[in-house]
């Protein structure tokens, strides 16, 4: 079985949970994914089978599209719903025009400091392991590419936006940086990866439909 397929990961599961589920049905076949999706997020996860796992690196370079919702006025240590509230600040007067102006500043080739709660390593140790021990270490800014960053909706304390970006972009960090630029703090309360390359919700297999999908392939 040499195959590349998009799957729709639900919230609450890790990317490896999806692979473990696949392995209960597919034996003796190498399986790998091309880009982790956080447990609190849902959306497209590309998984490679057999010899197709050699394509993982290439697939990780594909553009990705996300829709995220920011909770303004509070932030967490993980910058998402998995963490603990660490700060709260008033929300200043904000308009759609101001948000659009700020989003435009986070478009193109920009620098981003990776979050502590990430799988990046410092001296061989994943940052999230250091963060869980209360250790904060310096991280070098990294160049990322954001091709589209548009406002979908704004209410009193929530912003929903759509981002198309290149490899290595942390949407959690982007949400935090946008909030700070707006004069407050914020964190992601919802994240959906709607597209990677050619895969989107219409051609990705839902986890509950894995048995039926497997029955259609060799």
Q: Active-site residues: which are they?
A: 38
Looking at the DSSP bridge assignments, the partners of residue 49 are 3, 31
Residue pair 71/60 in contact (Cβ under 8 Å)? The answer is no
What is the DSSP secondary structure assignment for residue 77, as one 8-state letter?
Answer: S
Structure tokens at 210: 């894995």
Q: CA-to-CA distance for 38 and 136, rounded, in angstroms? A: 21
Residue pair 196/44 in contact (Cβ under 8 Å)? The answer is yes
Report which of 175, 129, 169 is spatially closest to residue 146, judged by C-alpha positions: 169
Q: CA-to-CA distance for 72 and 92, rounded, in angstroms? A: 10
Pairing of strands 186-196, 64-72: antiparallel
Provide the 3-class DSSP secondary structure of residue 1. Answer: coil
Q: CA-to-CA distance for 117 and 113, rounded, in angstroms? A: 12
């Amino acid at each position: 079985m040499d195959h590349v397929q998009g799957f729709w990961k639900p919230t609450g599961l890790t990317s490896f949970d999806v692979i473990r589920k696949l392995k209960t049905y597919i034996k003796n076949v190498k399986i790998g994914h091309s880009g982790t999706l956080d447990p609190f997020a849902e959306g497209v996860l590309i998984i490679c089978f057999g010899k197709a796992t050699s394509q993982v690196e290439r697939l990780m370079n594909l553009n990705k599209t996300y829709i995220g919702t920011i909770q303004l006025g509070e932030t967490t240590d993980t910058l998402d719903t998995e963490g603990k509230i660490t700060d709260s600040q008033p929300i200043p007067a904000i308009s759609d025009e101001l948000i659009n102006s700020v989003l435009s500043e986070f478009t193109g080739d920009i620098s981003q400091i990776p979050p502590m709660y990430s799988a990046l390593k410092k001296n061989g140790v994943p940052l999230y392991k250091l963060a869980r021990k209360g250790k904060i270490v310096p991280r070098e800014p990294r160049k990322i590419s954001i091709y589209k960053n548009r406002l979908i909706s704004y209410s009193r304390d929530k912003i929903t936006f759509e981002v198309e970006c290149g490899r290595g972009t942390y949407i959690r960090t982007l949400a935090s940086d946008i909030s700070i630029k707006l004069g407050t703090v914020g964190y992601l309360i919802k994240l959906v990866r709607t597209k990677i390359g050619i895969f989107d919700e219409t051609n990705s297999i839902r986890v509950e439909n894995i048995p039926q999908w497997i029955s259609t392939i060799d």
